[in-house]
Amino acid sequence: RAQAKLDYLKGLNDEQREAVLTTEGPLLVLAGAGTGKTRVLTTRIAHILTERKARGSEILSVTFTNKAAREMKERIGKLVGSTVEGMPWLGTFHSIGARILRRHAELADLKSDFTILDTDDQIRLIKQLLDAENIDEKRWPARQFANMLDTWKNRGLLPKDVSPADSGSFANGRGTRLYADYQARLKVLNAADFGDLLLENIRIFREYPDVLAHYHRQFKYMLVDEYQDSNVAQYLWLRLLAQGKPASEANICVVGDDDQSIYGWRGAEVDNILRFEKDFPGAKVIKLERNYRSTSNILKAASTLIANNESRLGKTLQTDVGETGEKLTVTSVWDSEEEARQIGEEIEQYQRQGESLNSMAILVRASHQMRELEERFITLGLNYRVIGGPRFYERKEIRDAIAYLRVIANPADSLSFERIVNVPKRGLGDSTVQLLHNTARAANTNLVSATRMLLETEELKPKQRTTLRELLAQFDDWSARLQGLPHYELAEQVLDESGYTAMWQADKSPDSPGRLENLKELVRSMEEFETLGGFLEHISLVMDRDTVEAEDAVTIMTLHSAKGLEYDTVFLPGWEEGLFPSQRSMDELGRAGLEEERRLAYVGITRGKKRVRLSMAQNRRIRGLWQSALPSRFIDELPPEVVDVKDTGSGYGGYTYGGGAAGRFNFADPFESVYNTPGWQRAKAQQSSRKGGGPLTIEGELVARSVDIGSDRSPYETGQR
Ligand code: ATP
Ligand code: MG
């Protein structure tokens, strides 16, 4: 058979092969963790390319992270060698959205070099808006408004789609107008926030059919990984792109696992999976049931745990690893410090047995759990990398350096300009910055232009006028030099000539050498990119999961960012009630929140190939207060026959699991403890007195971004399809 020649098909089972070979028409691959969904997608692309069904640029493939996109690119390169004509459009929703938006920036009142704002910039911008409107930020926090924006944008709603009632009581009903002002302000700054990357695509596709038609002709095949976590905006975007053909003929393949839907809190709609067969009639559905990743003990633990969820599509999962493997362990320790010590010791022990640090990961529920682990590893001299925590690109010195580079690339980027205008100190105080702001606002322009205007007037004091004139001249000079100089060399010069490097050299605090080191690392990392624009794009998009890769290092990350990954050994610390499942999540969403937490636990366990080590601390310090902790109910839900329970017996007799994990803790009604908390009851009371979605606050504190995501006015019902 001709197919037998195709090497890449050899390693697949029958169902996987079918999923790869069914290239025409809509296809849904619905399958549990580790069944090869991602592998199917990669192989499918290889197949389309080798069979010459399409050129690289005619394939659109959406991955969950940029890292996944890079890995996929590498694998495809290996599978099909040099025959690839043009690489597929491979990336996250955001990165592909950004690429499209840059091409049509003028249709969104932007220039193609627009800046992508991160949360920090976004909050600063909102603060300015609130300030200009005399809205009391203590009463109506910028962060709360940012959450509202997020919810709207995740649902694909433009300012015109949001009625004043939708913004609830925020700033006494002014939320909707603020949304419009915020968008207008972004245009002036030549900037887009993350939500815009897709929202503006959607708007352009709807308003300019010829643009959409172009992409219909271009993308012959579409593939989406981790489909269970797509939100409404992503869904609408995909639907628009798939509309080039009748729905029943669209070449769209989505893969997902309803049990791994863990972004509901960000507006993901697991219903998208259920809806797929309706939207694309005649879609083929393929289920994969063989797990190639984990030992049978690990799979059994994960399957038994997730069976406690009610809302499931239901799937079977069998191991193909052919090994029972080690039992899972649950270790009960005194506190989180001891937990970190334990984990450190175990890692060293495995290392002595010849296992690599790269094969081990620690997955935490909350990022505050990371610090103690990091400190311990530093003490031990253990290499580690943190992914998704306090990130390299979020460090102050890195953000400052990037701000300089952003202003060079896009002088309209006022937020970046503001960030560094007085860093290092140049004697430009708040009042000067305020004057710049007022001028910019009055002239409806950006800070740099406003500064130029001010320099022509008498409004600035002589000293400040000189300083600002020199600063702008420097920026002009740097921009000019960018033509003749590699951008990383320019970056070094900028840091030196601006006095920024000198500022940290003069700083005597213990962390300044590290900061200087980070700046060097930043410049080094720029060498990988051809242009400054390319580098800045990378920064905006890639921050979420990338750190500087050490050679061999243990990975520390949140459970949320571990999706799709696998490690021989997985440590899961902090399995305590309140921390995991998170109290907040249960308070906000009740049973749905608990089920999402359980899916997160399922994701965590199924990352492990050979070994899964859980732990719980009997005492934990949360925001400075010691609290004694109860074991997570998820521990109780694990099948005792595959779990070994250990107590380090340090001091306190608290919770020993004499008889095994199961049965030791009895939650007669697992929800009783949730419903009876005062927070929950107050939230309930407020919720029933409100109509529609939107954020929920209790006594001024935001407790829920959106209480009834999707159940109120979703765009599906408002004729936006
Ligand atoms: P997740 O739901 O966690 O994203 P997944 O369904 O995407 O998992 P993959 O990551 O594609 O699963 O595959 C899991 C592991 O099993 C990988 O190491 C992959 O290489 C391996 N694998 C997949 N299919 C096969 C197969 N037919 N034979 C051998 N190994 C396989
Ligand atoms: Mg996967």
Calpha distance 384→548 (Å, rounded)? 11
Q: Which of the four pLDDT bands, split at 50, 70 and 90, describes residue 527? A: confident
Substitution candidate for ligand 1 out of 63, 288, 292, 610 with most atoms within 8 A of CB: 292
Calpha distance 374→696 (Å, rounded)? 35
Helix/strand/coil for 157: coil
If you take atom 23 of ligand 1, which residue's CA is the nearest one?
36
- β-pairing verdict for 191-192 and 115-116: parallel
Calpha distance 564→294 (Å, rounded)? 13
Considering the entire predicted model, what is its pTM? 0.77
Higher-pLDDT residue of 612 and 543 is 612
Element (H, E) at 376: helix 370-380
Please identify which residue in the block is written with the tokens 């970056």.
491
- The mean pLDDT value for 277-286 works out to 92
Closest-lying ligand 1 atom to the alpha carbon of residue 606: 3
Per-residue pLDDT tens digits for 292-311? 999 999 999 999 999 999 87
Calpha distance 662→298 (Å, rounded)? 16
Is 180 annotated in a binding site? The answer is no
Per-residue pLDDT tens digits for 557-584? 989 889 999 999 999 999 999 899 998 8
User: Which is nearest to 400 in space by CA: 522, 507, 490?
Assistant: 522
If you take atom 2 of ligand 1, which residue's CA is the nearest one?
33
* Residue 591 contacts residue 92 (beta carbons within 8 Å): no
Higher-pLDDT residue of 332 and 65 is 332
Q: What is the whole-number distance in angstroms between the Cα of residue 119 and the centre of ligand 1?
A: 34
Calpha distance 535→620 (Å, rounded)? 41
Does ligand 1 come within 6 angstroms of the Cβ of 258? Answer: no
Element (H, E) at 449: helix 447-455
Calpha distance 721→185 (Å, rounded)? 28
pLDDT at 706 over 50: no
- The mean pLDDT value for 304-324 works out to 83
Q: What is the whole-number distance in angstroms between the Cα of residue 504 and the centre of ligand 1?
A: 47
Calpha distance 713→692 (Å, rounded)? 7
Does ligand 1 come within 6 angstroms of the Cβ of 175? Answer: no
- Write down the mean pLDDT value for the chain: 83
The set of catalytic residues is 37-38, 225-226, 260, 607
- β-pairing verdict for 554-558 and 384-387: parallel
Calpha distance 641→639 (Å, rounded)? 6
Q: What is the whole-number distance in angstroms between the Cα of residue 32 and the centre of ligand 1?
A: 10
ipTM above 0.95, yes or no: yes
